Structures are given as C-alpha cells and as structure tokens.
A = this chain, B = another copy of it.
C-alpha cells in the first residue's frame, strides 16, 4: 500500500473565508493562528506585490521530473493553489511558461514550489503568482511517478490537500482546513488591534509604553544608564 496515487477530490474551504485570509495576509494570519504552518523563507515570490489564497492541491514529485504536476491539473478547480514538494532537494526549473499557461486556463490561483521555475520573464509578464526556491532554466523529464493530493512536506511545513494556502511578499502560510474559520476571526481581531496600535505609534507613542515594556525590562534586570563606559 505504498504505491503512488492521484487523489481526484480535495475538500475546499469557503471562498469568502479564503478571500478574507488573503486580505489579512501571511504575517497577520500566521500570528493569529498561534504561529503554525509557515513555510521556510527560502521560498520567494518571483515578483513583488502578488497576494493569493486558495485550497491546496498537493503534488509530490521526484526531483527533476514534472509528470505529476501535469497530472495534478486533472484535479484542480478555479481558485486552487498548487503546492509542489520534491522528494530530495533540487533547484531544477520544474514549471515554465507552458505549464503556467495551462494552470491559468484552468483557473489555478498560483503555484508554491519547493524547487525552481523557468521562463520567469514570461511568468512575470503573465502576472502568474509563483513562490519558488530558485530560478533555473534546467527543465525536467516527464517520466517518473509521484503522487497528487497526499500529505506532503513543502519547505519544511506539512501541507494536507485542502489546507488553505496564503502567500504574499512575506512568504507562504498553510492554514489547516479545520482552522480556517478560527483563523479568520482571530485575524480580524488582530488586525483591529493593530489598526489602533498603528495610530498610536504613528502619533509618536512608544511601543515600550503601549506594551508595558519598561516594567518588563526592570523585571528582567536590564540596567538603564545614561552613558556607556
């Protein structure tokens, strides 16, 4: 029972909740969730200013082969985010303009890939959202088996099919499906608090005072002196 497989159905989250997570953004949702699910910062967007959220269709590939990415498109619906993991570290360019054209045609919201991509000039002019580990012209074969919609580890984080992926300039976050509603309400609350804090900070009030950090400093035994030695 360890064979490779393609699972066609993925449970998707509520589109309205997903859109709200996109708006709050990775940094806010990550904190709101209690600091779970952040992919390692080695994944970077190929251009600035992109922000997406969607249900994860997961792909597990051997390095240097994108057969399973092609097959994963059989399982995608509009708004999904493809999350590609490789079974050993690789920077090969597993996705280029042609595959991105196909993804766009099928409504895929974006790509998160723990490997390389290529044709980045074209990907940028298409404004197709991609977070990747590397940019490399080295293409791949379409010859080796893997799986679609199984649990994967991508850039150090566990991703299950149907988890909600949020990605923007700060990185990529995986919100477990069971936590989406909770994430929305906590992020909303957090964002509200931050709005107030931002106003105070912009007016010159110090975080040291807002958060009571002077007292904490004293408790921690930090000395305040006027001049260095």
Contacts and interface: CB of A to CB of B under 8 A. Distances in A.
Interface of A: 1-9, 25-27, 30-31, 33-36, 38, 40-41, 44, 48-49, 51, 62-64, 67, 70-71, 73-74, 87-93, 96-99, 101-102, 104-106, 116, 118-121, 124, 134-139, 141-145, 147, 149-151, 153, 156-158, 161, 168-171, 173, 179, 182, 194, 197-198, 201-204, 206-208, 211, 213-214, 216-217, 220-228
A71 B30 contact: no
Contacts of A87: 35, 138
A71 B217 contact: yes
- Number of this chain's copies in the assembly equals 6
Nearest to A172: B137
10 contacts: A3-B222, A48-B121, A71-B222, A88-B138, A97-B198, A101-B198, A105-B202, A105-B203, A120-B170, A135-B171
Contact of A211 (B36, B137, B142, B228): B142
